Structure 1
Amino acid sequence: MKNIISKIILFSIVYLGFYSISHSQVLPVEDFEKKYSESTGAQLIDVRTSGEYGGGHLPKAQNIDYRSADFQEKINTLDKSKPVFVYCLSGGRSAAAAEAFKKNGFTQVYDLQGGYLKWTTKLKPIEGSKAVSNNKAITDAELDALLAQHSVVILDFFAPWCGPCVKMMPAVEKLTEEYKGKVLIIKVDADANRAIMTKYHIDEIPTFLIFKDGTQKMRAIGYQEESALKKLFTQYL
């Protein structure tokens, strides 16, 4: 009996060891950021295309396209004794890339859960994105006046570099026109309106705040299908 128990324990240890070696660790944004900042010699790898990378990326990230023909060759130039932090747009390519790192002898591999989209919607720092020249800050006085003048107001917190925000724009514009005169939609650019973001405790975009007669009634966070957006536009009419 003791031999059987010993064999089971040994098997469990071997199995868990193998599992930890052959799998990367997926970390949510806050944990990924913290782990990266605490790691000595950390290597931050963006496995998106060069075009995606050029539109904005995590600070100090190195671009190695997962789908490029020389991906294996390039990752083997990195230091296998140091931790690797990998991300893509939303997590699909980075998961595959993380496994490739593990198979090539990298023992400390961390994958960003939700990728660049989640990182940016959490308003984490980025570099390389193109500045938008027509950003306009909204003052408290201007916003208070608009809330007083209109019965139903929706604040749409967005950014031009936020994937989910851009994806929703056609639907938002369509519904804005459809409910013109009934619902006022105010687009609040996150880059130009940090004071408003702080005032309303916005720490993730896209976020919609719905006001009825000057009072906040609802908060909706994240990507919304057109049907869900229409509900936001109409439920307080």
Structure 2
Amino acid sequence: MKNIISKIILFSIIYLGFFSFSKAQVLSVEEFEKKYSESSGAQLIDVRTAGEYGGGHLPKATNVDYRSADFQEKIKSLDKTKPVFVYCLSGGRSASAAEALRKNGFSQVYDLQGGYLKWTTKMKPVEGTSAAKDSKAITEAELETLLAQHSVVILDFFAPWCGPCIKMMPAVEKLSEEYKGKVLILKVDADANRAILTKYHIDEIPTFLIFKDGTQKMRAIGYQEESALKKLFTQYL
């Protein structure tokens, strides 16, 4: 009986060890940055679309779109003897990409928890970003003044590379005009206003923050249909 129990324990240890080894390591922003800087010959892979990559990416990252038809072929050009660091927008695609890398024989795979959004809200370095032409950085003092001057203020956190943000723009602009004088809609470019993102803990875009008499009342995350936007615009009037 003791031998059977010992074998079961040994098998469990081996199985759990293999299971752990077969999974990519998911690292926080700080851990990811530290591990990458310490790794010799590290390969940094951005698995978002070319459009997302073009809107800004981690320094020296190579773009290999996880959803492209040739993803499996492209990763063959990577060096399996060297560590691979992957990230996407928020962590979903990079998890799948990391799993694919492991299955293809890459033994050192590190996945950025929270992706590019979490990296940028931590004020980490990026390259290739370009704020929208009509956007500018908003200081905390300017924002506090606007919150004090207007009864209802909605902060619309967006980015020019964010598909859902662009899709919502016509509806946001339409409602902004419709409720002009009643609701102040302030568009906040995520690439130009990282300090504001950090202040309000914005780690996903699009995000809307609704303020009433200077106090935050609500947070809405993700794509919103026009009817849902209208409700956001009017419920605190």
Same fold (TM over 0.5): yes
Residue of structure 2 in register with 1:107 after alignment: 107
Q: Bigger CA drift: 140-149 or 56-65? A: 140-149
Q: How many Å apart are 1:224 and its aligned residue?
A: 5.3
Distance in 2 (alpha carbons) for counterparts of 1:31 and 1:129: 23
C-alpha separation in 2, matches of 1:141 and 1:87: 34
Q: What RMSD, in angstroms, separates the aligned Cα atoms of the two structures? A: 3.4
**CA separation of 1:28/1:168 partners in 2, compared to 1, >3 Å: closer, same or farther?**
farther
Sequence identity (%): 78
Q: Is the 8 A contact 1:117 1:164 kept in 2?
A: no
More displaced stretch, 8-17 vs 59-68:
59-68
Q: How many residues align?
A: 234
**2:181 alignment counterpart:** 181
Residue 234 in structure 1 maps to residue 234 in structure 2: yes
In the alignment, is residue 23 of structure 1 matched against residue 10 of structure 2? no
1:213-228 maps to which residues of 2 (within 5 A)? 213=213, 215-220=214-219, 222-223=221-222, 225-226=224-225
State the one-letter code of the partner of 1:225: Q
For structure 2, the 5+ residue unaligned runs are: none
- Distance change >3 Å, CA 68–CA 159, structure 1 → 2: closer
Q: Which moved more, 1:67-76 or 1:106-115?
A: 67-76
| Preserved CA contact (<8 Å) 1:91 1:114 | yes
Specify whether residues 2 and 77 from structure 1 end up closer, same or farther in structure 2 by C-alpha distance, changes over 3 A only.
Answer: same
Counterpart amino acid of residue 217 in structure 2: M
Contact 1:45/1:64 (8 A) holds in 2: yes
1:80-95 equivalences in 2 (<5 Å): 80-95=80-95
Which 10-residue stretch deviates more, 160-169 or 54-63? 160-169
Identify if the C-alpha distance between structure 1 residues 124 and 234 changes in structure 2 by more than 3 Å, giving closer, same or farther.
farther
TM-score by length of structure 1 reads: 0.76
Q: Which deviates the most, 3-12 or 216-225?
A: 216-225
**Alignment partner, residue 97 of structure 2:** 97
Contact 1:86-1:94 within 8 A present in 2 as well: yes
Partner of 2:54: 54
**Counterparts of 2:76 and 2:186 in 1: how far apart (Å)?**
49
User: Cα deviation per residue 1:62-83 (whole Å; 9 max; x = unaligned)?
Assistant: 1234455654454344332322
Q: 1:201 aligned to 2:168?
A: no
* Structure 1: gaps (5+ residues): none
